[in-house]
Structure 1
């Protein structure tokens, strides 16, 4: 066991928070097991660190720069889990509306359920359960 009884630490974030999580991971790969990105991308190379990585984007996201996302995809490990859900940018968080983001016809509860389903499944796969 490690700090606070937690055996495996992961960092992650939404949008700019995800980029900051990748920066932390690039500088401290020995301190964590992996990275979780929501509507974000790694602007630092973590591909050779051995870290687990999951990236979830939204098909209705009009805020995430898709060109930058694709250009930085190689910064993730080659076995990173990549998922796309029918979400807009703000539905990854707990706030409403952001400049440049189009409204969605899906509720936030539905969006968060879908996001939770892929996230929980990914974490379980990391434990082998």
Structure 2
């Protein structure tokens, strides 16, 4: 019964065609995008969001020596398997550089990963996400990117903005050209007109606000920034 309740509350992917992502492989533990590479991004899904809802966006991030892993988590709740990133890393010892990130609740879980293993990751990517009050990211010497939409109706934007004090050297930017891979620096960028659910492909999320830009525009900005950092 509990499993049925969680499944009935989950958000399932829209606009997904497996045949359009030939580099996609799937196991019972993760979705992998990309054949091989020396760099990898582990991206935790948002709470109750099917991991395939992020394939479209993250397929554009993979490639050019970057592999992307989307963990499959119990009941689509990343908080139930915080150590999933470490399990993936152990399975791919040939990958030299690791980054972690996530959307919404998945981003909070990515912060736990950085809190516990600050020296093992190069970059942290948070989409409409922020760390819990008990999470300390000041010892992280990599680059942190925090992206959020001005029309987000799900994430607590006040808490997100106030979480700056938990990051190493937080910097607010209004132009993405100023975002660079910089050690011990955290960039905060607001996507004007973006909302919460447009970071994935799963339809409109309950409680969210309408976006004034398209989902493609919001994701294009996210892809550009993540790809730029991963390539450096």
Task: Specify the TM-score bucket, using the shorter chain as the normaliser.
Answer: 0.7 to 0.9
Is 2:118–2:139's contact at 8 Å kept on the other side of the alignment? no
Larger radius of gyration: 2
Structure with greater strand share of residues:
2
The range that moved more, 1-10 or 62-71, is 1-10
Q: Which residue in 2 is equivalent to 1:114?
A: 221
The structure-2 alpha-carbon separation of the partners of 1:71 and 1:107, relative to structure 1 and needing over 3 Å to count, comes to: closer
Q: Which residue in 1 is equivalent to 2:109?
A: 20
Match of 2:137 among 46, 51, 57: 46
The offset of 1:55, in angstroms, is 0.6
Is 2:150–2:190's contact at 8 Å kept on the other side of the alignment? yes
Q: Which segments of 5 or more consecutive residues in structure 2 lack a partner in the other structure?
A: 1-37, 39-88, 170-184
In structure 2, how many angstroms separate the alpha carbons of the residues matched to 1:119 and 1:30?
20
Is 1:51–1:77's contact at 8 Å kept on the other side of the alignment? no
Structure with greater helix share of residues:
1
Q: Which residue in 2 is equivalent to 1:84?
A: 190
Is 2:119–2:141's contact at 8 Å kept on the other side of the alignment? no
TM-score, normalised relative to structure 1: 0.86
Q: Which segments of 5 or more consecutive residues in structure 1 lack a partner in the other structure?
A: none
The offset of 1:42, in angstroms, is 1.7
Moved over 4 A (4+): none
In structure 2, how many angstroms separate the alpha carbons of the residues matched to 1:28 and 1:6?
17
Is 1:42–1:73's contact at 8 Å kept on the other side of the alignment? no
In structure 2, how many angstroms separate the alpha carbons of the residues matched to 1:68 and 1:15?
13
The offset of 1:4, in angstroms, is 5.0
TM-score, normalised relative to structure 2: 0.50
In structure 1, how many angstroms separate the alpha carbons of the residues matched to 2:142 and 2:126?
13
Deviations, residues 68-87 of structure 1 (Å, cap 9, x unaligned): 11222111111212111131
